[in-house]
Structure 1
Amino acid sequence: MTSTFEMQSQTSSLPIIAAHTAQGHQRAELPARIQSSYTTRFAAQALESDPSRFHLATGATVVPQAGDVVIARVTEILNHKRVETPESRKAILFEGAIIMLAYGNRYAADQFLAHVPDSLEPCHLVAAGGVAGMVTEQHVNMDDPTRIEPLGLLADEHGVVNLTRFSPYQLRPLPATVGAEVAPLPGRPRVIGVLGTSMNSGKSTAMACLVNGLTNAGLKVSAGKSTGTGAGNDPMIYHDGGAAKVLDFTDFGFPTTFKLEYEQVRSLTVNLIDALSETDTDVVVVEIADGVYQGETARLLRDPLFQSVLDTVVFAASDALGAVAGVRELQEAGLEVAAVSGVLTSSPLATAEARQVLDVPVLDTFGMTAADTARDLLPRR
Structure 2
Amino acid sequence: MKQLSQITPSICEIAKWAFTTRRVNRSDVHGLSTQLRHAKAGDLILCEIVEIGHHKKIQLAERRASISYPGDFVVLCLGDRYAPDQFLASAVIDDDLIDLVAGGGVAGRVDAAHEFMDDPTRLKPLGLLTNATGHTINVADYALPALPANDRVTVIGVFGASMNSGKTTAASSLGHGLMRAGYAVAGVKATGTGAFGDFNSFEDGGAPALDFTDVGMATTFRTPLERIEAGFDTLVATAAERGAEVVVVEIADGVFQQETRAILQSSCIRDRLDGILFAAPDALSALGGVTVLKRVGLSPFAISGMISCSPMAAAEAAEVTGRPILSREDLWSPEVIARHVAPLMRGEPEDVAA
Letter in 1 for 2:15: I
Q: Say whether the 8 Å CA contact 1:78–1:145 is kept in structure 2.
A: yes
Aligned to 1:202: 166
Matched, 1:311 2:274: yes
Deviates more, 1:116-125 or 1:218-227: 116-125
> Given the superposition, is the C-alpha separation of residues 208 and 356 from structure 1 closer, same or farther in structure 2, using an over 3 Å criterion?
same
Matched, 1:247 2:210: yes
Aligned to 1:107: 82
List per-residue Cα deviations over 1:171-217 (Å, max 9, x = no partner).
45x8xxxxxxxxx535x211100000001000000111111111111
Q: Say whether the 8 Å CA contact 1:311–1:336 is kept in structure 2.
A: no
The alpha carbon displacement at 1:154 in A equals: 0.4
* 1:301 maps to which of 233, 246, 264: 264
Matched, 1:160 2:136: yes
Could you tell me which runs of 5 or more consecutive residues in structure 2 were left unpaired when the two chains were aligned.
347-354
The alpha carbon displacement at 1:346 in A equals: 0.8
Letter in 2 for 1:141: F
Matched, 1:236 2:200: yes
> Given the superposition, is the C-alpha separation of residues 150 and 325 from structure 1 closer, same or farther in structure 2, using an over 3 Å criterion?
same
CA distance in 1, matches of 2:127, 2:335: 54
CA distance in 2, matches of 1:263, 1:282: 25
Matched, 1:78 2:53: yes
CA distance in 2, matches of 1:40, 1:274: 23
The alpha carbon displacement at 1:33 in A equals: 1.9
Aligned to 1:333: 296
CA distance in 2, matches of 1:163, 1:325: 37
Aligned to 2:3: 26
**Identical positions, percent:** 39
* Higher helix fraction (1 or 2): 2
Question: Where do 1:214-293 residues align within 5 Å?
Answer: 214-243=178-207, 245-278=208-241, 280-293=243-256
CA distance in 2, matches of 1:380, 1:359: 22
Letter in 2 for 1:102: C
Aligned to 2:31: 55
Deviates more, 1:299-308 or 1:215-224: 299-308
Letter in 2 for 1:134: R
CA distance in 2, matches of 1:248, 1:344: 26
The alpha carbon displacement at 1:366 in A equals: 2.4
List per-residue Cα deviations over 1:69-96 (Å, max 9, x = no partner).
0000000001010000112211000100
Deviates more, 1:145-154 or 1:62-71: 62-71
Aligned to 2:150: 185
Q: What secondary structure, in the 3-state scheme, does the structure 2 residue paired with 1:277 have?
A: helix
Aligned to 1:149: 124
> Given the superposition, is the C-alpha separation of residues 267 and 113 from structure 1 closer, same or farther in structure 2, using an over 3 Å criterion?
same
List per-residue Cα deviations over 1:56-76 (Å, max 9, x = no partner).
1115x6411000000000000
CA distance in 2, matches of 1:119, 1:164: 23
List per-residue Cα deviations over 1:241-293 (Å, max 9, x = no partner).
111x3100001111100001121122222222222223742211000000001
* 2:91 maps to which of 83, 99, 116: 116
Q: Say whether the 8 Å CA contact 2:171–2:202 is kept in structure 1.
A: yes
Q: Say whether the 8 Å CA contact 2:37–2:92 is kept in structure 1.
A: no
Q: Say whether the 8 Å CA contact 1:120–1:150 is kept in structure 2.
A: no
Q: Say whether the 8 Å CA contact 1:64–1:119 is kept in structure 2.
A: no
Q: Say whether the 8 Å CA contact 1:221–1:283 is kept in structure 2.
A: yes
The alpha carbon displacement at 1:364 in A equals: 1.5
Aligned to 1:211: 175
CA distance in 1, matches of 2:225, 2:261: 11
The alpha carbon displacement at 1:119 in A equals: 4.0
Q: Say whether the 8 Å CA contact 1:314–1:338 is kept in structure 2.
A: yes
Q: What secondary structure, in the 3-state scheme, does the structure 1 residue paired with 2:19 have?
A: coil
The alpha carbon displacement at 1:229 in A equals: 0.3
The alpha carbon displacement at 1:317 in A equals: 0.1
Could you tell me which runs of 5 or more consecutive residues in structure 1 were left unpaired when the two chains were aligned.
1-20, 175-183
The alpha carbon displacement at 1:374 in A equals: 2.1
Q: Say whether the 8 Å CA contact 1:192–1:311 is kept in structure 2.
A: yes
Matched, 1:96 2:61: no
Q: What secondary structure, in the 3-state scheme, does the structure 1 residue paired with 2:249 have?
A: strand
CA distance in 2, matches of 1:40, 1:74: 17
Q: Say whether the 8 Å CA contact 2:215–2:234 is kept in structure 1.
A: no
List per-residue Cα deviations over 1:105-136 (Å, max 9, x = no partner).
00001000000114463111111100001001
The alpha carbon displacement at 1:359 in A equals: 1.9
> Given the superposition, is the C-alpha separation of residues 217 and 250 from structure 1 closer, same or farther in structure 2, using an over 3 Å criterion?
same
Q: Say whether the 8 Å CA contact 1:196–1:317 is kept in structure 2.
A: yes
Q: What secondary structure, in the 3-state scheme, does the structure 1 residue paired with 2:178 have?
A: helix
Letter in 2 for 1:40: T
Aligned to 1:11: none
Q: Say whether the 8 Å CA contact 2:150–2:233 is kept in structure 1.
A: no
Aligned to 1:344: 307
Query: Aligned pair count?
Result: 339
The alpha carbon displacement at 1:27 in A equals: 4.4
Q: Say whether the 8 Å CA contact 2:19–2:194 is kept in structure 1.
A: yes
Aligned to 1:8: none
TM-score if structure 1 supplies the norm length?
Answer: 0.85
Q: Say whether the 8 Å CA contact 2:280–2:307 is kept in structure 1.
A: yes
